[in-house]
């Protein structure tokens, strides 16, 4: 049975084939040599209190259209000025209406770490992320073999980037730990079915070794949820929909950070 994740990854591979025809990996590697070094995002996520990765997100497979976001750079600057630790930028175009252009504009607008949020299935995408200024990349355990996960995690480190390794269940959590992940994101949304299970973080967090940064993802509607995850041991939360669909993104960022601190 084809899952939602399978369908997304299939589209990602088709779009990737077009980009690799236009820009070769050696071209990207040459570009990376001229890009400023990545910011140490892991160090910032380890800061006291609850960190916030604030997301520039136009749409999602579960909710459809969320926000127009004509100026991603302005939104990212708003997040950063309100205290967001890092900015997540969706670059998947079919389901999330993102692009590498969005990543470029956000990178130019903020001084905080930037996450390229996409479905990484090849080394090429990591070189691409770094060439466009990303400091963090997402590795979704459910979409990678163990060998791919270990190789791409190692490459991210070689490129100076932080790898946010995303898990959804006990087996994936063990695979992330075995791969040496130092930042693990626990996604309450099952990408194969799009269902959200609010107990996922509390169930999986005890399986993550001490010293590993724990990030709670999905279904975070505001300050109360952020406080709950902080109490359960989250070092950071990744929030998109609640920020882009509300009337005041800056106030929402401040509320989430205050709740985590409390």
Instruction: Tell me what the pLDDT averaged over the chain comes to.
Output: 94
Task: Name the active-site residue from 51, 57, 60, 128.
Answer: 57
Task: Name the active-site residue from 128, 172, 217, 241.
Answer: 217
Q: Given a cut of 80, is residue 63 above it in pLDDT? A: no
Per-residue pLDDT at 143: 95
Task: Name the active-site residue from 187, 190, 214, 241.
Answer: 187
Q: Is 214 a catalytic residue?
A: no
Task: Name the active-site residue from 92, 128, 166, 172.
Answer: 166
Average pLDDT of 143-161?
Answer: 97
Per-residue pLDDT at 246: 84
Average pLDDT of 67-94?
Answer: 93
Q: Given a cut of 80, is residue 119 above it in pLDDT? A: yes
Task: Quickly state the pLDDT bin for 93 (edges 50, 70, 90).
Answer: confident
pTM of the model: 0.95
Taking phi first (over 0 means left), then psi (-120 to 50 degrees means alpha), and beta for anything else, what does residue 194 get?
left
Per-residue pLDDT at 184: 98
Q: Is 68 a catalytic residue?
A: no
Partners of 51 in the β-ladder? 236
Residues 6+ apart with CB under 8 A from 92: 8, 11, 12, 98, 117, 118, 119
Lowest-confidence region among 18-22, 135-139, 154-158, 218-222: 218-222
Task: Quickly state the pLDDT bin for 262 (edges 50, 70, 90).
Answer: confident
Q: Is 65 a catalytic residue?
A: no
DSSP, collapsed to helix, strand or coil, labels residue 114 as strand
Per-residue pLDDT at 127: 98
Q: Is 192 a catalytic residue?
A: no
Q: Is 55 a catalytic residue?
A: yes
- Bridge pairing between strands 51-56 and 86-90: parallel
Q: Given a cut of 80, is residue 66 above it in pLDDT? A: no
Per-residue pLDDT at 253: 96
Q: Given a cut of 90, is residue 244 above it in pLDDT? A: no
Q: Is 128 a catalytic residue?
A: no
* CA-wise closest residue to 60 among 92, 18, 25: 92
Task: Name the active-site residue from 51, 92, 105, 117.
Answer: 117
Q: Cα 240 to chain center, whole Å? A: 10
Q: List the structure tokens of 18.
A: 């077009």
Average pLDDT of 30-53?
Answer: 96
Per-residue pLDDT at 37: 96
Task: Name the active-site residue from 182, 214, 218, 241.
Answer: 218
């Amino acid at each position: 049975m084809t899952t939602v994740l399978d369908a997304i990854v299939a589209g990602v591979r088709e779009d990737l084939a077009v980009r690799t025809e236009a820009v070769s990996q050696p071209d990207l590697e040459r570009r990376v040599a001229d890009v400023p070094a990545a910011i140490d995002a892991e160090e910032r996520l380890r800061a006291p209190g609850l960190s916030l990765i604030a997301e520039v997100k136009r749409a999602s497979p579960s909710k459809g259209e969320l926000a127009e976001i004509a100026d991603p750079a302005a939104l990212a600057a708003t997040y950063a000025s309100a205290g967001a630790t890092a900015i997540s930028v969706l670059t998947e175009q079919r389901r999330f209406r993102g692009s590498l252009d969005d990543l470029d504009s956000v990178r130019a607008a903020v001084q905080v770490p930037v996450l390229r949020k996409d479905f990484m299935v090849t080394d090429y995408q990591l070189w691409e992320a770094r060439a466009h200024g990303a400091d963090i990349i997402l590795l979704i355990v459910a979409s990678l073999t163990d060998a791919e996960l270990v190789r791409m995690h190692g490459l991210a480190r070689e490129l100076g980037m932080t790898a946010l390794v995303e898990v959804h269940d006990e087996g994936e959590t063990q695979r992330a730990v075995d791969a040496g992940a130092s930042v693990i994101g626990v996604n309450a949304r099952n990408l194969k079915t799009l269902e959200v299970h609010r107990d996922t973080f509390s169930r999986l967090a005890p399986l993550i070794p001490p010293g590993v940064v724990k990030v709670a993802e999905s279904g975070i509607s505001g300050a109360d949820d952020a406080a709950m995850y902080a109490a359960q041991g989250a070092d950071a939360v990744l929030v998109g929909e609640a920020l882009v669909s509300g009337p005041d993104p800056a106030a929402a960022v401040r509320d989430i950070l205050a709740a985590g601190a409390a």
